[in-house]
Amino acid sequence: MRKPCMAANWKMNKTTGETRAFLDEFIPLVQDVKNVDIVVAPPFTSIHAAAALLAGSHIRLSAQNLFHEEKGAYTGEISPAMLTDAGCSHVIIGHSERRQYFKETDEMLNRKVRIARKHALQVIFCIGESLEEREAGKTFEVLNREIGEGLKEVSPEGIIVAYEPIWAIGTGKTATTEQAQEAHYSIREKLAALYSNAAAQEIRILYGGSVTPDNIDALMRCADVDGALVGGASLKADSFSKIVKFNTDYKQ
């Protein structure tokens, strides 16, 4: 049985002080949760503060991005060694906002995944289709391409896939449970073709896109949904703790 994973992506939110205040409130709320992996991804400026507060806890620390080189003349970029040195165990790669606003290509993302794994960072690899692509019937074509190109020459160990339909991110729209399960099942089939059926059954696939405490139980009923990558609803400790403490009867 795959252990559920709930990851908070704060995006460009929270100062260092706000990060400390959140974790001071959040950690006690989830201290008894043992059957769910919890990951928090603050902005770069708050990673050190978060690492200090999370030390000794069961909550893991993630970065929201990294650069695909070890070091060098890349002003403003962050290397994988810098992230591990700061206390990160995970990194988010390929989020639709990075693909859209910063023009990150499949080839570039593959380089990021490979260097992250070289440094033993667990990768939350994001994929998903736009509304136009869904309406054109290209959902599975897009997902297959992003998986195949993004995970090329990457072993399955340390990989978490996050399916985020772009049309559901920050819009208040959520894929129906049928849409979510259909996409997650297709992703697992592609992972089986890329690796093996055994490996595909081990890889966790998270759902992302307007996840809230109100819809998490329904999403987690889906056989191939193994958790969530949460945006807006992860910015408040009470809200995210309720998502983390979903009705785990569905995943026993």
Catalytic residue from among 68, 90, 95, 184? 95
Catalytic residue among 97, 146, 164, 184: 164
C-alpha distance across the termini of the chain, in Å:
8
Known active-site residue 90 = no
> Strand 37-41 vs strand 205-207: parallel, antiparallel, or unpaired?
unpaired
Cα-based distances in Å from 159 to 82, 104, 151, 170, 218: 20, 19, 9, 24, 24
Among candidates 30, 44, 46, 34, which has minimal Cα distance to 3?
34
> What CA–CA distance (Å, rounded) separates 218 from 220?
5
Identify whether 48 is a catalytic site residue: no
In the block, which residue shows the tokens 């055994």?
A: 198
For the chain, helix, strand, coil in percent to 5 are 45, 15, 40
Active site amino acids: 95, 164
